[in-house]
Amino acid sequence: MPFHFQFPWLPNNPTSSSSSPTKPPSPAIPNPFLPIQAGLASFLSSLPLPRAPFPPPPWARISSASASAASASALPVAEIEERLAGVPVYALANSSQEFVLVSSARGGGGGGGGARAAVPPPALGLLCFRREDADALLAQMDGDMAAGSTVVPIALNKVIQLKSDGVAFRFVPDSSQVANAMKLMENEGQYVNDGFPGVPVFQSRSLVLMSDNKRYRPIFFRKEDLDNSLHRASRDQQKPNPAVKMGDIQVSSLENIIKSMKDSSSSKWDDAVFIPPGFDLATSSKQSNHDN
């Protein structure tokens, strides 16, 4: 039986609208970590979003050719974005509030390509999950490009839909969490010779959030945050459950989860909530008690 955490700050009844009190609200997923994410989200949303230095609409949403076919089964984009609110990533922006882009080392040149050979290689906009990694990128820039450039935090829910012609946005995961993920995979007999494919996230079948008799699955960006949450849950259990293992941790990639949310039935992920890096369930409870 999994550990259960109660979250009393979630309303028992969704906030009703005075315009149509008789209409039941849509079954949007409440965010159990809204009190934690509120400060981060408000700070991040107040920051100017860097622009891509290209004339077409720089921040168009990614279009989906099969959107009409998938809309009935996929989670709405707004719902996915809500779950990622308050999770920061870090990018480089110049003095004109444009993304500092990295040119791809491939492409551009050679052989027999005709019209295809003239297509310029894509530029990369790098989004780091650790500020230290973004600071390191800034330190590696040459003097002219580095002048006026700075590291800016951006909310993850604002960047998962970013698209610009000629630009490919790429996440730079925390290398320590990649190592954690690969070690867990090796312990399960899975060997990935080419590294972990994406941004690793961690969850446990032994950890469940409860609110208004509903179950939610917390997904962590740092294994240490999940470990702390499991430790606290084990310590606070009145009747220890020997069936629950502290090492019961599963690894997924953020990209695969988001893709599944967009493409698959919502029933698979309608219980998932993302925990910002550096927060655990013990932190969330202290924050909730302080706010109350």
Asked whether the predicted pLDDT for residue 1 surpasses 90, the reply is no
Q: Is residue 277 part of a domain?
A: yes
Whether residues 210 and 198 fall in one domain? yes
Q: Which residue has the higher pLDDT, 287 or 97?
A: 97
Look at 126-130, 140-144, 161-165 and tell me which has the smallest mean pLDDT.
161-165
Asked whether the predicted pLDDT for residue 245 surpasses 50, the reply is yes
Q: Is residue 21 part of a domain?
A: no
| pLDDT tens figures, 92-128 | 998 888 888 887 655 444 444 445 555 554 688 899 9
CATH of the domain at 269: 3.40.1350.100
User: How many C-beta atoms surround the C-beta of residue 172 within 10 A?
Assistant: 19
In terms of residue numbers, what domain contains 178? Answer: 174-292
Percent of the chain past pLDDT 90, that is, above it, reads 24
Q: Tell me, what's the pLDDT at 238?
A: 59
Q: Is residue 129 part of a domain?
A: yes
Whether residues 216 and 281 fall in one domain? yes
Residue 38: pLDDT band (50, 70, 90) is very low
Asked whether the predicted pLDDT for residue 169 surpasses 90, the reply is no
To which H or E segment does residue 168 belong? strand 167-172
Q: Is residue 131 part of a domain?
A: yes
Structural domains of the chain, count: 2
Whether residues 94 and 225 fall in one domain? no
Whether residues 150 and 211 fall in one domain? no
Long-range contacts formed by 254-260: CB under 8 A, 24+ apart: 254/171, 254/198, 254/199, 254/200, 254/201, 254/221, 255/171, 255/197, 255/198, 255/199, 256/198, 257/201, 257/219, 258/80, 258/160
Whether residues 291 and 215 fall in one domain? yes
Q: 0.75 exceeded by the pTM?
A: no
Residue 91: pLDDT band (50, 70, 90) is very high
Q: Is residue 19 part of a domain?
A: no
Whether residues 234 and 247 fall in one domain? yes
